[in-house]
Amino acid sequence: MFKIKAILFFFFLGFYSFSQNDLDAVRYSQSGGVGGTARSMAMGGAYGSVGADLSCGAYNPAGLGLYRKSDFSFTGSMKITNHQAEIYNKKTNSAQANFAFNNFGIALAWNAENDPESRNVVSFSNTQSQNFYATTKMQGYTNTSSIAKDMLNLANDIAINSGLGSASYKYLYSDYEGMAFNTFLLDTADNKYFSFLDTKRAVNQSRELATTGRVNDINISYAYAYKDQFYFGLSLGLPRVKYTSTVTHKEFDDLDSMRVAFTSDTTFSDTYTEPLPAAYRDMLGFNNLTYTEYFSTTGTGINLKFGGIARLADDFRVGFYFHTPTLYSLTDTYYNVLSTSFDYAPNSPQTAKVPDMGGYYSYKITTPSRFSLNAAYVIKKMAVVAIDYEAVNYRNAKLKAEGNPFETANNALKTYYKTGHNVRIGGELNIKPVMIRAGYNMQGSPYGKVFFGDYVRNTLSFGAGVRIKEHFYLDATLYSTATSQAYYLFYTLDTQAKLKHRNTSLVVSAGVKF
């Protein structure tokens, strides 16, 4: 368990502790920034007042009221993600590709029975609001920032603060420095802890952060168009969560700088910078270690979304939407593993796993509500320009479980987080039968930063669509999202990596109106 300062690395892709924390709450409080059909994504998601799109059920369900015909569509994408990590003055790049189902759904529209100028619309849609597939790698040599040094510092703090000295091993955290003690990476001598990995020697250190999973937001929606002037909508949201994180940290003495050599049956020499206790000479020096931290989250949630749109003039519409807090019921499975190898048997590591059969924990997260104002301007039925503003107060996220008030995590949410501000801007030009679209989406940091800075996501998008024989349509969008963050590896060491992420996706929608 990495006991990190959670506030310092919100978008941390792989770090986790057995205690659920503020990062879990914020992870599921965010949206992916751009999600839905290829048409809406091409316009940066600025569809709050544009409407007549199957993505509306997940954002502003009132937009469904602008449908005059029924609609069925399917949207998929190919996502290519590039990651760069810089640590110890070395940059490491990694990339991966995966296919995603962005959206599929159906909307059924019919005229009101006693008013042909008014309409009813019901819709079912599944929108992927978040995609967690990512792998980030970092690597470099260090003689100041070994994981063993972090574990050693924590162990000696416990020894000093408890007043028990070397007898404090029973109070070490079993899933971190306690595993180091149980695999002989740490041990005691002269009433304190020492590390069998010489923390002043250079080791080849690498870390891989791998996440998978998604949040699929299922929405059952109803909208009503009153005389094509006012539109009202309501969605029952049923999001489904699947998230897996694996952190793999490795250190190798590939320079063979930690050696023990026997000069006789009873005497030896070593290359350690501090004297090595004689009882450990038979291990012949540190060789390598691998620390793995795994957890997986699954669960479901429920929320309500409602909104309205008013046609103030033939060419101008304004709207709003409100999403209630989402109530998630989640279950985590988890374990940590540490394997330590020594020169006397480099292929037979000492291994500890905690919990030895894996852990299991159920809890609840309440995400903050979301509120948006939006507007759209139609230019002679040939073009449309739209803008959405959305606010999310991350302070209102909350964790809870039976018998666990999560005081530390909930206090962190209220103390460190702020209101996030999201902006979506887009436009469409209709040159029949082809439509050209472009958009910009900014998702602000949960710490309050907008447009620039760590944890801010900026997305540029461009797309085109074609209508075939009035009923069939095909849309394609290319968009690119960029963000950066600071990543802290340890608790007691100020070791920081600078991460940059860029996601480029080709999105295609195919549908039919009937």
Residue 104 is inside which H or E element, if any? strand 90-112
Q: Is 199 left (phi over 0), alpha (psi -120 to 50) or beta?
A: alpha
- Give the whole-angstrom CA distance, residue 46 versus residue 463: 14
* Token output for 475: 């849309």
Q: Contact, 319 vs 63, CB < 8 A?
A: yes
- Give the whole-angstrom CA distance, residue 418 versus residue 425: 23
Length of the chain: 514
What residue type is assigned to position 147 of the chain? Answer: I
pLDDT for residue 405: 86
pLDDT for residue 19: 63
Q: Contact, 49 vs 386, CB < 8 A?
A: yes
CA distances to 149, 201, 255, 342, 491 from 284, in Å: 20, 16, 15, 7, 29
Which residue reads 């991350």 in tokens?
394
Alpha carbon 332 to its chain's center: 16
Instruction: Name the residue among 160, 106, 137 with its Cα closest to residue 207.
Output: 137
Give the pTM: 0.90
Q: In a structure prediction context, what are the per-residue pLDDT tens digits for the chain, which is 514 residues long?
A: 333 333 333 333 333 345 688 999 999 999 866 679 999 999 999 999 999 999 999 999 999 999 999 999 999 999 999 999 999 999 999 999 999 999 999 999 999 988 888 999 999 999 999 999 999 999 999 999 999 999 999 999 998 888 888 788 889 989 999 999 999 999 988 888 999 999 999 999 999 999 999 999 999 999 999 999 999 999 999 999 999 999 999 999 999 999 888 777 666 778 888 877 777 777 888 999 999 999 999 999 999 999 999 999 999 999 999 999 999 999 999 999 999 999 988 899 999 999 989 899 999 999 999 999 999 999 988 999 999 999 999 999 999 998 888 999 999 999 999 999 999 999 999 998 899 999 999 999 999 999 999 999 999 999 999 998 889 999 999 999 999 999 999 999 999 999 999 999 999 999 999 9
- Domains and their CATH numbers in the chain: 6-146+197-513 (2.40.160.60)
pLDDT for residue 504: 96
* Token output for 72: 């069925």
CA distances to 150, 199, 336 from 155, in Å: 9, 14, 18
- Give the whole-angstrom CA distance, residue 29 versus residue 333: 21
Q: For 162, which DSSP code?
A: H
Give the number of other CB atoms < 10 A from CB of residue 108.
16
pLDDT for residue 8: 37
